[in-house]
Structure 1
Amino acid sequence: MTTQNAINWPERYLPGTGDNFGSNEVVVSGVTVGRVWRYLTDTSTWESYYDNVADISFPQGGPRLKDGDVFSFGTFGFPPLDARGVEYQEPADGVPGRLSWTAKQDGGPEERLDVLHAWLVEDLPGGRVRVLTQETQLGEPAAALAQERPNPMLNGHQAWLDGLIHAASGRLGTDA
């Protein structure tokens, strides 16, 4: 039997308690956890494989994410969100990689947005790699996004996962 790890959720962002929640996952072979982790944590590569992110900047540090990093980025048509790394654990033998950040947009109730985006990258038996990404969003913009069909967050995060795996497998810039 294979036990798969789960995202570590701060209580404020528990799935099902916010205004929008999305969960996307892939399990693949032919790629290593290390390569997936490298492309996931290096924000300078994001725009090369994911077209729903822009304007990534760090007031200091970067472009590799780590615990406590402060950065900003635009996504889903929102102005750049202020983000802060809240969990960073590099993958190791028998230990999954964990990455999460909060992202916020201030303003009145119709603009205020508070998000926790989390990633888990782990080896599975048989040379497989599992990548799970989940996000909880709080605020009126999140509630509006949750009502759109097709669901932009689910589709956007699936595109991010697909691009991440494509890049990590060395097929970036190819049609394969």
Structure 2
Amino acid sequence: MFYIESTRLKLIPLTHQLLQQYHTSRPQMEAALGLNHSEIKIDPLYVTEIEDALVNFWLPKTLQFPESYQWFTSWEIVLKSDNISVGGMGFNGLPNENREAEIGYMIHENQQGKGYATEALQVMSQWALAHENVENVIVHTYSDNLPSRRILEKNGFTLIGDADRILTYKLCKS
């Protein structure tokens, strides 16, 4: 099984088969990964967003692009010490014509404030920027999402745009 890791975290991109298990039963998917069951608290807005991404993006795109599924799936953020999922993140597809890879992330409400998003974003950005077809990593966040903005700034992202309360941050390959 492919994964990347940092000091405290393991990031596992979900294959099409694992996404199908997730869609049927999240505990079944966690068991297939050998994870301990995690008590997840997610804002209802994000539950709807995750279900939409699962059905309309992750499942069809990982089926369509099995060789490059890592760019089209959710990555489980796993706390190695407890072997539980603490959140998820992923790319919005292959890098675009401007050689940008877009990342999104979410940490479960009961796991926030522990530095997991900062650490996961750092390792995911490094992974993306190691690809020759990626020059920049892009993240969009709401202007009032101060914790996310701090995470981006800690990781060296620069604010490059502000449109209708959505901020765009960029990290360039050095």
Q: TM-score, normalised by structure 2?
A: 0.36
- More strand per residue: 1
| Higher-helix-fraction structure | 2
